[in-house]
């Protein structure tokens, strides 16, 4: 494994934390070329109101702008969660050389977990390194979803209490 993999994954984790702070599913990505980070991004699907706003797509978008072309030769991506089919497709299209991901995604992981984008004979196959700082990356996701469930429970309780109060008032009046 690239000796800097953990260092760059930590930067992706920092991006993921920025997503969580905005109430977004915490996924962060960075693109590295010649040992230098050339783009950083995090998931903004909710705040951007856009299905395309995954961390990987945004990071690719920024890297293409920076390098001035649709190909990203010599580029590596570090992303905290296994890319989905859309992002895996974008990674192949951008000719990214290697992808390092942290958490596995049973529901939509397209580089080995749900299926493997590299198994279809497409004209480019990125090298995949899975499970880099997996524990940290998964913990970010599970605590986010735990808090989300707790918040929903609390909100439901509050709504029910409000309804009860209104019903009581109607009876009393």
Q: Does 58 bind Zn ion (CB under 5 A)?
A: no
DSSP letter at 78? E
Active site residue 158: no
- How many CA atoms within 13 Å lie on the side-chain side of 142? 8
In the bound state with Zn ion, the residue whose beta carbon lies nearer, of 89 and 131, is 89
Q: What CA–CA distance (Å, rounded) separates 87 from 78?
A: 13
Tokens 């953990």 locate to 6
Residues in region 70-89 near Zn ion by CB under 5 A = 84, 86-87
In the bound state with Zn ion, the residue whose beta carbon lies nearer, of 4 and 28, is 28
Q: What CA–CA distance (Å, rounded) separates 169 from 155?
A: 21
In the bound state with Zn ion, the residue whose beta carbon lies nearer, of 55 and 132, is 55
CB 108 to Zn ion: min, Å: 7
Q: Does 54 bind Zn ion (CB under 5 A)?
A: yes
SS3 165: helix
Stretch that binds Zn ion, among 50-58, 64-72, 117-125, 155-163 (CB under 5 A): 50-58
Contact 99, 77 (CB under 8 A): yes
Per the residue annotation, which of 3, 11, 36, 56 is the catalytic one?
Answer: 56
Contact 41, 16 (CB under 8 A): no
Stretch that binds Zn ion, among 49-57, 66-74, 143-151, 158-166 (CB under 5 A): 49-57
Name the residues annotated as catalytic: 56
Q: Which residues would be at the binding site for Zn ion (CB under 5 A)?
A: 54, 84, 86-87
């Amino acid at each position: 494994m690239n000796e800097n993999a953990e260092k760059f994954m930590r930067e992706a984790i920092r991006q993921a934390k920025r997503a969580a702070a905005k109430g977004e599913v915490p996924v962060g990505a960075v693109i590295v070329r010649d040992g230098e980070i050339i783009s950083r991004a995090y998931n903004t699907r909710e705040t951007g109101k856009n299905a395309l706003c995954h961390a990987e797509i945004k990071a690719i978008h920024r890297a293409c702008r920076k390098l001035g072309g649709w190909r990203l030769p010599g580029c590596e991506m570090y992303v905290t969660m296994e890319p989905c089919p859309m992002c895996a497709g974008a990674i192949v299209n951008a000719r990214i050389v290697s992808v390092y991901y942290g958490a596995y995604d049973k529901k939509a992981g397209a580089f080995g977990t749900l299926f493997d984008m590299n198994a279809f004979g497409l004209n480019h196959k990125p090298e995949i390194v899975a499970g880099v700082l997996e524990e940290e990356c998964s913990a970010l996701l599970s605590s986010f979803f735990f808090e989300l469930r707790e918040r929903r429970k609390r909100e439901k309780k509050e709504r029910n209490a409000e309804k009860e109060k209104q019903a009581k008032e109607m009876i009393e009046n």
